[in-house]
Amino acid sequence: MPPKTAATKSASNPPALTNYLRRYNLVSSILWLSILVRVLKVGCEKGFDSGVVYDFNERYARLIQTGAVLEVLHSLTGLVRAPVMTTLMQVASRLLLVWGIGYNFPASTRNSPAYASMLVAWSVTEVIRYSYFVFVLAGKGVPGFLTWLRYNTFFVLYPLGVASETWLIYRAIPAAQKLNPAFAYALWGILATYIPGFYTLFTHMLRQRSKVMKAKRV
């Protein structure tokens, strides 16, 4: 799943860095919106399990997601307040899905509707998240509807994303076993981490939501 704690240090950053972060978030939101449009357009026209969603989006989504490595660099350099290890693990899990699963094992990924639902969950989440930070960095306040979306849509998007990711990993295990048994065992281990990981992140998001919603009511 995506980084959830990418709060920026806009107040303490020089104007040039703040402008960079604002543009980075704006471009990222546009790119993820384009993925969402591409997935929905092709899926509605050809079917979400036809394989066309994969054919049309796999390389495009893989390249855009790979660009999220910058999130780790932002955290490492202190440009944002996101914890380095948390950001690294979240970005790495996405890279596993687009490179280790989607790219390496197209036979188990291509015709699965879970590939489309994963991209939908990711893209909606990222459009909201990056748009939110564009307004934060502009320093003029975040629209109420965007704050609501950021702290409420995870009720649907997070379970959808996790379910899609785990299903794609599970489907890839037989092919991974043939390629290298060690890889298959690693995938089983990764699947096992999703259970405590889901609980930890979901309860964290609930606490964040409670704080934000309570502050808005004051």
State pLDDT tens for residues 42-52. 999 999 999 99
pLDDT at 218: 53
pLDDT at 6: 46
Report residue 78: phi and psi, to 5°. 80, 10
C-alpha distances (whole Å) from 125 to each of 11, 19, 31, 50, 131 are 25, 23, 12, 24, 10
Provide the 10 A C-beta neighbour count for residue 44: 10
Predicted confidence (pLDDT) at residue 86 exceeds the cutoff of 90: no
What residues contact 179, with CB distance under 8 A and at least 6 apart?
Answer: 104
Predicted confidence (pLDDT) at residue 3 exceeds the cutoff of 50: no
Q: What whole-number distance in Å separates Cα of residue 131 and Cα of residue 212?
A: 17
pLDDT at 13: 77
C-alpha distances (whole Å) from 45 to each of 41, 48, 50 are 6, 9, 10
Strand, coil or helix: 142: coil
Predicted confidence (pLDDT) at residue 28 exceeds the cutoff of 80: yes
Q: What is the DSSP letter of 152?
A: T
Say which of 54, 132, 165, 170 is annotated catalytic.
165
Annotation marks residue 54 as catalytic = no
Say which of 103, 158, 185, 199 is annotated catalytic.
158
Q: Which residue has the tokens 């995870």?
A: 154
Annotation marks residue 158 as catalytic = yes
Q: Which residue has the tokens 């048994």?
A: 181
Q: Which of 30-39, 99-108, 200-209 has the lowest mean pLDDT?
A: 200-209
Q: Please indicate whether residue 167 or residue 208 has the higher confidence score (pLDDT).
A: 167
Question: pTM for the complete prediction?
Answer: 0.92
